[in-house]
A and B are shown apart, each in its own frame.
Chain A
Amino acid sequence: IAGITQAPTSQILAAGRRMTLRCTQDMRHNAMYWYRQDLGLGLRLIHYSNTAGTTGKGEVPDGYSVSRANTDDFPLTLASAVPSQTSVYFCASSGDTGELFFGEGSRLTVL
C-alpha cells in the first residue's frame, strides 16, 4: 500500500529557477493538501484541493501554484524559487473522516 508518494525526496535549487514537486495518492481521496514545515513554525498550509478541478489558498500561498487535473495527482509549482522557500514540503490527502495521510516529504534547499 503506497498511500501518498512524493518526488523528489530532496532537491537543491538555484534561486530564480522553476521547480515542481510531485504528489500522487492511491487512496481515491477527494481532498489533497500541500504543507510546508519549518523549525519552530510547525506545518503551514500552502494550497488545498477539495476535489479534482478545484483548488484553494491556504495560509502561505504566495510564490506557489497548484493544479488538480485528476483525483490522484496534486503537483506544487514554485515559479521562481527564492531562499525563503527553503523548507520541507509535505503532501497529504483526506477522506470523509478528516484525518490526514501524509507523504514522506520533499526537502527543498534554495540557494
Chain B
Amino acid sequence: EDQVTQSPEALRLQEGESSSLNCSYTVSGLRGLFWYRQDPGKGPEFLFTLYSAGEEKEKERLKATLTKKESFLHITAPKPEDSATYLCAVDGLRGGFKTIFGAGTRLFVKA
C-alpha cells in the first residue's frame, strides 16, 4: 500500500534560518512525487513534481530533492510569507489516478 509520512509535524523558524522538511514514502513504482503549499482556509497550491531519484527542482527560496525513499523540501533564508502548510504526495504506478498525501508540515516563520 502506498504511504507518505512527513516530518516534523510543525516547524518554527526565525526569518533567515534555513531548514528542511522531510517526506518519506513507500510506493509501488513511483510515477511522481509532488509538493504543495497550503495557506489557512485555502486549497493546496502546486509547487513541484519530481520523477526520479537524484532530481532537484527550485523555486525562489525552495528546493525539492528526491531519493528512492525520501524527498526533502529545503527552505533557504525563509521569510514570514513562507509560513504555510507544506504537503507531500505520491502517485504510484499501481495506484492509477489515486494521489496519496502526507499529513503535512506546518511551517511558521517569525520576523
Contact = CB atoms under 8 A, between A and B. Distances in A.
Given A42-B87, A42-B103, A101 B46 contact: yes
A105 B42 contact: yes
A12 interface: no
Counting chain B CB atoms within 10 Å of each CB, the highest count among A94, A100, A101 belongs to A100
A94 B99 CA distance: 10
B42 A98 contact: no
B97 A99 contact: no
B43 A40 contact: no
Given A42-B87, A43-B87, A99 B101 contact: no
Nearest to B4: A42
B87 A98 contact: no
A90 B31 CA distance: 23
Interface residues of B, number: 23
Given A104-B43, A105-B42, A98 B31 contact: yes
Interface string A50-71: 1000001011000000000000
A94 B34 CA distance: 13
Contact of A100 (B31, B34, B104): B34
Given A40-B103, A42-B102, A42-B104, A100 B97 contact: no
Nearest to A30: B97
Interface of A: 4, 31, 33, 35, 40-45, 48, 50, 56, 58-59, 90, 92, 94, 97-105
